[in-house]
Copies of this chain bind each other. A is one copy, B any other.
Amino acid sequence: MKVIKFGGSSLASAEQLTKVLNIVKTDDRRKFVVVSAPGKRHGKDTKVTDALIAYYEAYTSGKDVHENQEWIIARYQSICDELGIPGVVMASISEDIHSLATLPITDNQFLYDTFLAAGENNNAKLIAEYFSENGIKARYVHPKEAGIIVTPEPGNARLLPSSYKKIETLTHYDETLVIPGFFGITEDNQICTFSRGGSDITGSIIAAGVHAELYENFTDVDGIFSAHPGIISNPSSITELTYKEMRELAYAGFSVLHDEALLPAYRANIPLVIKNTNNPDHPGTRIIANRTTAGSPVVGIAGDGNFTSLNISKYLMNREVGFGRKVLQILEDFNIRFEHMPTGIDDMSIIIRNRYLTEETEQHITQKATDVLHPDTLHFEKDLSIIMIVGEDMNEHIGVTARAANALAAAGINIEMLSQGSSEVSVMFIVKTNQETAAIKALYAEFF
């Protein structure tokens, strides 16, 4: 059995859905199909999920929502029309979209998730019907029926481990199951989504739950490239990656696969392959526990912007038991996650994603930290990017850090921070965001 997941661009139009149908048909082990909401058909198109956000905002701010509803319904209708899907599905979809605007506006966070989830949910109904009409015995399964029970963290749900028992029973069905991705159900029956792009997570959960032989993740690219194609023209594609390598690349900006989607597959040791709906014969990129050694010690170079560093210095900082803990406590009190904490002798930097900070929060943190820590200096440093070079074999190649630092130096790029060794499979550089592209180019030229 295989679990196969299709992303939004693979499901954006009748033309794409025809490809999806053929892919599922060519291998009868593809018994579990996880689907996203319809994506963009062309560059200026709107994703259904974004249309649902606009609908939610109009509804909760008391505006007229008629136009929002009609746009979304028409979007599904046009796919149904082109594919000749009978009207009964569209009636269900239309009713579901309208019914959102009758829900009580009490807990806005769960309500928001309920609006968003409608994109995947209705697409799953549509696709199950399309499959059934075209020779695949298919059945739509709601996440509640599938047993995807999650923590009540809107926009950031996590699967309850106890869910797997129920998910395993999905293997009892004869039909090919079509399951909407991206969301689960809380124990209180609230719809609650994973973090955005979370259909990958659903696929991984189902694959782990049913002990699939393979989790196929279909996107619109021929697998994972060794660097972002928007920065490096025609980067080499990667045949095999380990879970760890993928995890680090995903963390630092490789958005092909959601960075939390690996965990269930990793823990259950399910191989994962990234493939292209538009080029299904391409082998894509396999993600597995152990791979055969590649030529280069580096398999991929990733970069991600939007980081801020909180820099604190205090003479004899390390004599104070609890100094670091107090710094982190202050951040935790503001519910801020930190990414890294490189330290000098009397200096400490805490790297934080910009999205956790506002000017107001920064002021509060500055005030609190000044009162509690009495630092010599404390300031926020903006516009930082994390660059990671990733490869399982790096540990066996002593000079990798040297080569990387050399390449950056030769390109005139200042390394704001460099950290090597805490992770076994990556070296991390922090540079100013305006040097991020140049840094990735320099590293790519060095290692590929």
**Chain A residues proximal to chain B, CB less than 8 Å:** 247-248, 251, 260, 263, 266-267, 311, 315-316, 318-322, 324-325, 328-329, 331-332, 335-349, 398-399, 401-402, 405-406, 408-410, 412-424, 426-428, 430
Contacts and interface: CB of A to CB of B under 8 A. Distances in A.
Contacts of A402: 402, 405-406, 408-409
Contacts of A263: 315-316
Contacts of A336: 321
A318 B345 contact: no
Contacts of A316: 260, 263
A423 B318 contact: no
If over half of A's interface residues share one DSSP class (helix, strand or loop), that class is named, otherwise mixed; here it is mixed
B332 A325 contact: yes
Q: Please name the 6 residue pairs, one residue from A and one from B, whose CB atoms are nearest each other, closest first.
A: A344-B423, A417-B421, A399-B409, A402-B405, A325-B328, A342-B422
Q: Which among A248, A260, A398, A405 has the greatest number of chain B C-beta atoms within 10 A?
A: A405
A342 B342 contact: yes
Contacts of A348: 422
Contacts of A426: 344-345
A15 B207 CA distance: 83
Nearest to A402: B405
A401 B413 CA distance: 12
Contacts of A427: 418
A186 B428 CA distance: 47
Given A260-B319, A342-B422, 6 more contacts: A251-B345, A325-B331, A347-B422, A348-B422, A398-B415, A401-B409
Contacts of A416: 421
A335 B320 CA distance: 10
22 contacts: A248-B344, A260-B316, A263-B315, A318-B338, A325-B328, A325-B329, A340-B342, A341-B343, A344-B424, A347-B424, A349-B422, A398-B409, A398-B414, A399-B406, A399-B409, A402-B405, A402-B406, A402-B409, A405-B405, A406-B406, A418-B421, A421-B430
Contacts of A260: 316, 319
A86 to B, nearest CB: 43
Given A399-B409, A405-B402, A406-B399, A321 B332 contact: yes
Given A401-B405, A409-B398, A421-B416, A318 B337 contact: yes
A223 to B, nearest CB: 21
Nearest to A158: B319
Nearest to A346: B247
A410 B406 CA distance: 14
Contact of A398 (B335, B338, B412, B422): B412
A388 to B, nearest CB: 8
Given A324-B328, A398-B412, A424-B347, A419 B342 contact: yes
